[in-house]
Amino acid sequence: MALQNKYLADLLETVKKRNPGEPEFIQAVTEVFTSLEPVAEKRPDLVEAGVFERIVEPERQIIFRVPWVDDNGVQRVNRGFRIEFNSAIGPYKGGLRLHPSVYLGIIKFLGFEQIFKNSLTTLPMGGGKGGSDFDPKGKSDGEVMRFCQSFMTELSKHIGPNTDVPAGDIGTGAREIGYMFGQYKRLRNEFTGVLTGKGLTFGGSLARTEATGFGVCYFTEEMLKANGKSFKGQTVVISGSGNVAIYATQKATELGAKVVTMSDSNGFIYDENGIDLAAVKQIKEVERKRIKEYLNYHPEAVYTEGCSNIWNTPCDIALPCATQNEIDGESAKKLAANGCYCVSEGANMPSTPEAIDVYFENKMLYGPAKAVNAGGVAVSGLEMSQNSERLSWTFEDVDSRLKNIMVNIFKSCDEASKEYGLEGNYMAGANIAGFLKVAEAMKAQGCV
Ligand code: NDP
Ligand code: 2IT
């Protein structure tokens, strides 16, 4: 649907012209602008302060060469990125994605989303994102280490505990963060909380590993509760089998649901008895193998090659936890036709605009990524606090703060949706609530 507000429609055209060949970034801006139309009408002061123009332009974009030597002595070159998008409410904060599909448009969409997500957490964090087109899959530990050291050699010039604090994302887990932290410490001769998602022996926070997936379920449970439902007894389809998917599966199961699928980029497994998470953890976290291996543990389960048919699986609730645009309009229609009444997003922007239209047409409960998956960065914020005071909190303490934050994020989305006459549209609620805090800060700080 075209934008009705002329000011935002014209600005979107400018954004499209200024950022050619970046469809994911344009998709993210279009969605946010669609939600912000009533805000632009109601708040001419923010229009006058140039907040909309400034918020779509990254404060700084860093692109750099990452040379490294593979195990055969061959020189390799990847491209590194860090987009420092917005520092109105705190130091730039956001993950690093290592995946062959990474290019400027992916990092910019993720950095843009991160601004609003971080604002929703209520913690003082600006928005940023980075990464590289390096593919950790099939690389030895030594190769991953040499890549991470080279990547950090350049990145270290731009980040710092009060400037920009990266973390994990697709392809970047505890191993990669450890290598990067070691290199930063060596280069700068300082031990600071410059990265989050660190190992527990050197400043990491308990519950950071679980945070995104647990947070997905805390938000979703709250959304279900507000609509007279709960996870109890529900059949859940989860995509992905990485950090977010694994801990979403664990928490959904603890809350009484039966999770019947998980996937990787090759295909998906269906286990009608409910996923055996110990087997998945062994395959993915320990052995770094493919999800197909699940059949070695459970021959009665079914493996299907390819990812998209996962959305044909009948379910009550779908939690996409793999990657952007993994649910298109057709997949969304299949979900709806098979009785799915709730889609809540663990991955960043997993639904295409057409899929989102289908959710609304079918009156499904829709939890948007920037609210639903904010638990990861929220606990990153708590890791920063612990590093600053040189203390570590217990698992229970961090987990209960996480839960509290997720409950409040749902509340903010719900209230903003009601205030703007869009009750039940949590996408609009998340975009509006996330935007307003950043916008007020940008206005107060003047034209910077
Ligand atoms: P991981 O690297 O741990 O896992 C990613 C999972 O998604 C893997 O199963 C992977 O399969 C699959 N996947 C990745 N890319 C594709 C693709 N192009 N097509 C199909 N499947 C794919 O990453 P995370 O679990 O950390 O991240 C998952 C999502 O959650 C991402 O969108 C990320 O941005 C988002 N997110 C992550 C947070 C975090 O704290 N880690 C916080 C908030 C959001 P394969 O192994 O075959 O590549
Ligand atoms: O998308 C995300 O929010 C993340 N990958 C986590 C970012 C962080 O800084 O913990």
Instruction: List pLDDT tens digits, range 21-63.
Output: 999 999 999 999 999 999 999 999 999 999 999 999 999 999 9
Confidence of residue 334 (pLDDT cuts 50, 70, 90): very high
Q: Is 434 in the pocket of ligand 2 (CB under 6 A)?
A: no
The mean pLDDT of 356-381, rounded to a whole number, is 98
Query: Region 332-341: what's the mean pLDDT?
Result: 98
pLDDT tens for residues 121-177? 999 999 999 999 999 999 999 999 999 999 999 999 999 999 999 999 999 999 999
Q: What is the pLDDT of residue 335?
A: 98
Cβ of 320 closer than 6 Å to ligand 2, yes or no, is no
pLDDT tier for residue 64 given thresholds of 50, 70 and 90? very high
pTM of this structure: 0.98
**Among 75, 76, 92, 73, residue whose Cα is nearest residue 84:** 92
Q: Rounded mean pLDDT of 286-306?
A: 98
348 C-alpha to ligand 2 centroid (Å): 10
Q: Cα of 49 to ligand 2 centre, how many Å?
A: 29
CA of 87 to the centre of ligand 2 (A): 16
Ligand 2 pocket mutation pick from 84, 107, 114, 384 by most atoms within 8 angstroms of CB? 114
Q: Is the pLDDT of residue 83 over 80?
A: yes
Ligand at shortest distance from the CA of 247: 1
Residue 347: pLDDT band with limits 50, 70, 90: very high
Active site members: 129
Q: Is 348 in the pocket of ligand 2 (CB under 6 A)?
A: yes
Average pLDDT, the chain: 98
For ligand 2, is residue 169 a contact (CB within 6 Å)? yes
Between CA 131 and CA 149 the distance in angstroms is 13
* Residue 187 confidence (pLDDT): 98
% of the chain exceeding 90 in pLDDT: 100
Report percent pLDDT > 70 for the chain. 100
Q: Residue 41: is it exposed, middle or buried by C-beta count within 10 angstroms (0-12/13-18/19+)?
A: middle
For residue 153, the model assigns a pLDDT of: 98
Ligand 1, CB cutoff 6 Å, lining residues: 99, 101, 168-171, 212, 240-245, 264-266, 307, 321-323, 346-348, 373, 376
Residue nearest to atom 27 of ligand 1 (CA): 170
Mean pLDDT of 75-83: 99
pLDDT of residue 1: 67
Cα separation, 128 vs 2, in Å, equals 28
Pick the CATH number of 60-191 from 3.40.50.10860, 3.20.20.70, 3.30.470.20, 3.30.70.260: 3.40.50.10860
Mean of the pLDDT values across residues 233-258?
98
Mean pLDDT within 305-333: 98
Instruction: Report which bound ligand comes closest to the CA of 112.
Output: 2
**Separation of alpha carbons 187 and 158, rounded Å:** 13
Q: Residue 122's pLDDT is what?
A: 98
Q: Which fold has domain 210-372?
A: Rossmann fold (3.40.50)
pLDDT of residue 2: 87
For the chain, which residues make up each domain, given as ranges? Answer: 6-55, 60-191, 210-372
Q: Which residue has the tokens 């938000």?
A: 219
